[in-house]
Amino acid sequence: MSRAGCDTLLFDLDGTLTDTDALHIAAYRRILARDGRWLSAADYKARVMGATNAAIMGWMFPGLDEAEHAALADEKERLFRSMVGRLRPLPGLTALLEWAAGLALRTAVVTNAPRDNAELMLGGLGLATRFPVLVIGDELARGKPDPLPYATALERLGSTADRAFAFEDSCSGVRAAAAAGIETFGLLTGLDEPTLRAAGAAAVIDDFADPRLLAKLEAEFGSRPA
């Protein structure tokens, strides 16, 4: 697919704007501990990162019904929110968003996190008013890894896939963005480069100050974040 000029930046939330994996793992472990169970970091990366709550709870508790899964998911998310303290944006994020605003680029957050989580985290990062569009996977017919959340973000922004870049840290998220036809940067906050590439990432970066990203932005726009 040939690219038009980029005017749209789409961001995942957990692990992309800020690193919250340790808090999520701790919340899941508290619930699983009641049954003498444990969530390993490897299983978190393979089965939980970027997935919908329905998929996660179906895997963790296969013998329970949908209502019980929903109740457990709500409990886990309350635990997560109770653990959230001071959040730090990934390096380079603030400069990138200020630069994007100066160029009048369209921006959105596209996440499988519940709305309460997303709003809490964006507020804690000081970004509550930065993104005009917030797409919540659970509020759609299908969440990531389906491309629908990204297609929805593009529609709400009045943009198209060939005018967008996406930033994701999970296989589920990379697959969703890539399947929507968006050139996707994989963040190395949780997974390694081969894993992100295999999921469909066009490039991988350490964070938003990565020279590889800055060079790409300069080539695309003729400038880069300060």
pLDDT at site 64:
95
pLDDT at site 226:
85
Same domain, 15 and 127: yes
CATH number for position 58: 1.10.150
Q: Does residue 26 lie in a domain region?
A: yes
Q: What average pLDDT does range 151-161 have in this prediction? A: 98
pLDDT 10s digits, 51-88: 899 999 999 999 999 999 999 999 999 999 999 988 99
Query: Has residue 2 got a pLDDT over 70?
Result: no
Same domain, 60 and 79: yes
Same domain, 79 and 119: no
pLDDT 10s digits, 86-137: 899 999 999 999 999 999 999 999 999 999 999 999 999 999 999 999 999 9
Same domain, 76 and 142: no
Domain span including residue 151? 8-19+88-221
d(CA 204, CA 187): 6
Identify the band that residue 181 occupies on the pLDDT scale cut at 50, 70 and 90: very high
Q: Which residues of 13-41 are buried (b: 16+ CB within 10 A; e: fewer)?
A: bbbbbbbbbebbbebbeebbeeeeeebee
Catalytic residue among 7, 14, 19, 169: 14
Tokens of 56: 């996660």
Query: Has residue 161 got a pLDDT over 90?
Result: yes
Instruction: Tell me the angle at which helices 148-157 and 171-179 cross, rounded to the nearest 10 degrees.
Output: 60
35 is catalytic: no
CATH number for position 153: 3.40.50.1000
12 is catalytic: yes
Q: Does residue 154 lie in a domain region?
A: yes
Catalytic residue among 12, 21, 146, 169: 12
Q: Does residue 158 lie in a domain region?
A: yes
Q: Does residue 226 lie in a domain region?
A: no
Residue 8 · residue 163 · CB < 8 Å: yes
Same domain, 197 and 98: yes
Same domain, 79 and 99: no
How many residues does this entry show for the chain? 226
Same domain, 30 and 48: yes
Q: What average pLDDT does range 199-214 have in this prediction? A: 97
Total domain count, the chain:
2
Query: Has residue 1 got a pLDDT over 50?
Result: no
d(CA 13, CA 169): 9
Residue 10 · residue 177 · CB < 8 Å: yes
pLDDT 10s digits, 21-45: 999 999 999 999 999 999 999 999 9
pLDDT at site 86:
84
